[in-house]
Amino acid sequence: MSARLLATFCLGNLVVASAWASSADLPGSEVVVYLSAAGAQPERPLDYMKLELGRLMSTAGYRIAWADSRDPERPSTESPLVVVRFHGACAIAAVPSAKTGALASTAVSGGQIIPFSSLDCTSLTRVLSAPLASEPGARRDFLYGRAMARLLAHELYHVLLKTTDHSHEGLARPTFTAADLLAERFEFEQTTLVKLRPPAIPHPTASSTDDSSTR
């Protein structure tokens, strides 16, 4: 497989309903990510994915709070909620040769981004199996999990900004190569970080906290 294989991130036109508040409407910087179909996935790649996604989003000022969609206890929060579904097995394994589709996507309804994203691990495995074939098992898991995090960071960019637009550089680019997914360093560019950064929480002023002084 060519190292220049482009992994295109298509926004599927899925019609789903959602009641979701934008981070632009709320103070704070937490994002709650619900993982769907994660229970059957290999544990180590998921652990590495969580660590790397947390690091990537922290550069934009966000903290990821992880939740399992199988858990009947749903947190009460005003933070943005994102549901992530995995398709296929998220690990290097023998997969049938076939054309690679979009590696990750985020749902769109009526032209609006909604917080339902998916990661196609079958396609990701096809992209990474050759480059990672000679790597030891532990490092394979690390690199695979880091690649997953980069794909999901791209989708969170779409969800948090509610945009289908892309940047010319970094994780907000419209297409990645296998080399991008495995590079030692691949992050959001500075311009994108500025756009992503959550709004500052306003601090009360003396006049607003001490009404007696204005009377």
- Greatest mean pLDDT range, 31-40, 67-76, 116-125, 147-156: 147-156
Indicate the DSSP class of residue 61. T
Instruction: Please tell me whether residue 83 adopts helix, strand or coil conformation.
Output: strand
CATH (domain of 26): 3.40.390
Average pLDDT, the chain: 78
Q: Is 194 inside any structural domain?
A: yes
pLDDT of residue 72: 63
Query: What integer is the mean pLDDT of 104-117?
Result: 80
| 3-class DSSP state of 81 | strand
- Tell me, yes or no, whether 132 lies in a domain: yes
What percentage of residues in the chain have a pLDDT greater than 90? 51
Q: 157 or 10, which is more confident? A: 157
Q: How many domains does the chain have?
A: 1
Residue 101 confidence (pLDDT) = 65
- Domain with 18, as residue range(s), is 8-214
List of residues 6+ apart from 106 with CB closer than 8 A: 11, 12, 113, 114, 115, 116, 117, 118, 155, 158, 159
pLDDT tens digits for 170-182? 999 999 999 999 9
Is 162 exposed, middle or buried (CB count within 10 Å of its CB: 0-12, 13-18, 19+)?
A: middle
Q: Looking at the whole model, is its pTM more than 0.85?
A: no
Confidence at residue 200, expressed as pLDDT on a 0 to 100 scale: 63
Residue 2 lies in a domain: no
Q: Does 76 map to a domain? A: yes
Q: What is the pLDDT of residue 115?
A: 78
In a domain, 209, yes or no: yes
Q: How far apart, in whole angstroms, are the C-alpha atoms of residue 149 and residue 6?
A: 17
| Residue pair 121/108 in contact by the 8 Å Cβ criterion | no
Instruction: Report yes or no on 3 lying in a domain.
Output: no
